[in-house]
A and B are shown apart, each in its own frame.
Chain A
Amino acid sequence: MVVASQDAPAGAGINPSHGSMSRERRWALRWSYVCLALFAVIFLMPPIYMLITSLKTSAEISTAANPWWVFDPTLGNYAELLSQQQFLIFFRNSVLVTVIVVCVTMLIAVPAAFALSRMKFWGSTSLATGVFLTYLVPETLLFIPLFKIFAELQGLTGISFINNWWTLIFIYPTLTVPFCTWIMIGYFASIPKELDEAALIDGATWMQTLRLVFLPVALPGLIAAGIFAFTVSWAQFLYPMVFTTSADQLVLPVGIVTTLIKGDVFNWGQIMTGALLTAAPPLILYAFLMDYYIAGLTSGATKG
């Protein structure tokens, strides 16, 4: 190696010798780590600042001392928040809405994706395209007509859709189902056609093929879709803002934003605690299922 680096004159325009190449690479590597560390600090700063603030007393927050340091750490904010009936109701509402929406989403998306990717029928291609387009429809486009529709429905049927947390169960699937169907179509399409033919010859019906072959094989896709549905439902902010108002009907994100901010008196210690507790479930899920999460993200941009 050393001999080779002496033989090759530097910058001769031919292949760099091994010695200088590895030196170059070492420097590139060092620089990469330095820059990555910098970006990591920036990317993690807000959540870390949440944590810092959540550990402070109100008194410490309102002093002029270094806000980036906790001089008098306390878990008081957590204790107070978790003993509040209100916060626990938000939490319960969020969990109920999210769990039900994830289940409903999978029940709708999986059979649809199976039919669209495997059982070609009249209009199936346009329907798949339509599903993708629906995914691109943002909630800010539809919240007003949806609100009005449910208000009218309430007038018509006497069922109070407005200001009830369970109304969100009808609304959220419009955000989760299209994308989940889309990525499941992709996962199903990646299963070789021969596999369902083999199942067919082995005597399985379509439903058996789906249940006994496709679902187990496409399990990573199911998990990715489930995570997506969970994250979207858990984080949704606009719809609960529109549809729910009383404190006992709110879900976590809206509950924290609207009830903890009272007029001009911001109780930042509690707000940050609440925000962190709200961010925790998706973060924990992400920590354990990161690879599925990332696979789901990146597969959304590919067709089949």
Chain B
Amino acid sequence: MADVSLNKLVKRYDEVEAVRGIDLAIEDQEFVVLVGPSGCGKSTTLRMIAGLEDISDGDIRIGGDVVNDVPPRDRDIAMVFQNYALYPHMTVAENMSFGLRLKRFPKEEIRKRVDEAARILNIGELLDRKPRQLSGGQRQRVAMGRAIVRDPQVFLFDEPLSNLDAKLRVQMRTEIKRVHQMVPVTTVYVTHDQVEAMTLADRVVVMNGGRIEQVGPPDELYHSPATRFVAAFIGSPAMNVVPCRLEAEGEELMVRLDGGVSVPVPAERRARYGDAVGRKLFFGLRPEHLTDEGGRRNGGPTARIEATPDVVEVMGMETLIFFTLGGHEAAARLDSGARPRVGESIPLVADLGHMHLIDAESEFVL
């Protein structure tokens, strides 16, 4: 069993704390993605798991054993780097077998493993080439092949797709997913791209400022973000977040947005938000839940909001408009049939079943 667990993990560089006490349990064969903006500590965490960075405090267990003081080579891990880090003077086959040759595996075994990895990754015909003769996508495959032949307990990926162009990135994303299905090894994957995180992960770990903001399956992060940061980080275009106040009007609770617009809280949420009356809050609603009549997908409580688009982006399958709501930029996703015009007011439907209220002070989603 190669589960990985981080316990109160801390990384300090002189004065700065890059990682501030992380707890995380990764199950055997699970694909976990650490995602967050640059400087959030995700790469440092990965490098501590790899053994490339010393651990300042807390501990890391792989397969139950504390590995804090185990050098990288004895941790039984493999890592794929952002710039691939292929040995430029070795052929593809030599690159892939380097680790095994160092461990003095028998030649037969090495051959078998390299061939197998090459088969999985479709790089059989590249085995005799040097890295400089390969394209970015091919180098990426070789880097993964080098990880696979080692047959490690844990795969570590450090932003492996960042150096590829957009099209190839989508292709390799699928490829990584496919490889993980064929070789189901515990995987920790670091990226700053939330789409990569959502598509690849069994569970996503959102990090910010050296801490974990939220851990959960992709759809949970999307539908029930725990903090304002997660709410804004997951999803593109980002969730609309507008300062607001909650006021009681008899039975009803009204959300009064900055700028004068008010929307009612749906009946089933009243109990949940009852305590928040009078506090400073943010109102959050994803662009896909703010749409025109034609773009509505489901029933439920709604509210009407008038919008005057500043910018209109026609995407084909949908049309995005950007407008000002309560002094803040907001976005809405309209049906592709809609023909909004800049400066011409249109009515929008807010799907209040998906609204979020965020405490302005603690930044927790209520």
Contacts and interface: CB of A to CB of B under 8 A. Distances in A.
Given A194-B81, A194-B82, A197-B52, A203 B87 contact: no
A200 interface: yes
B83 A202 contact: no
A35 B48 CA distance: 60
A219 B87 CA distance: 13
A217 interface: yes
A203 B73 contact: yes
Interface string A134-171: 00000000000000000000000000000000000000
B89 A217 contact: yes
A217 to B, nearest CB: 6
A213 interface: yes
A204 interface: yes
Contacts of B349: none
Interface in A202-245: 202-205, 208, 212-213, 216-217, 219
B229 to A, nearest CB: 29
Nearest to B147: A201
Interface residues of B, number: 24
Interface stretch (B98-106, B245-253, B354-362): B98-106
Nearest to A196: B85
A34 interface: no
Interface residues of A, number: 18
A201 B50 contact: yes
Contacts of B85: 192, 194-195, 197-198
Nearest to A215: B89
B278 to A, nearest CB: 53
Contacts of B89: 216-217, 219
B291 to A, nearest CB: 45
Interface of A: 192, 194-195, 197-205, 208, 212-213, 216-217, 219
Interface of B: 50-52, 71-73, 77-79, 81-89, 98-99, 102-103, 146, 150
15 contacts: A192-B83, A194-B81, A194-B82, A197-B79, A198-B79, A200-B51, A201-B51, A201-B78, A201-B99, A202-B99, A203-B73, A203-B99, A204-B98, A212-B98, A219-B89
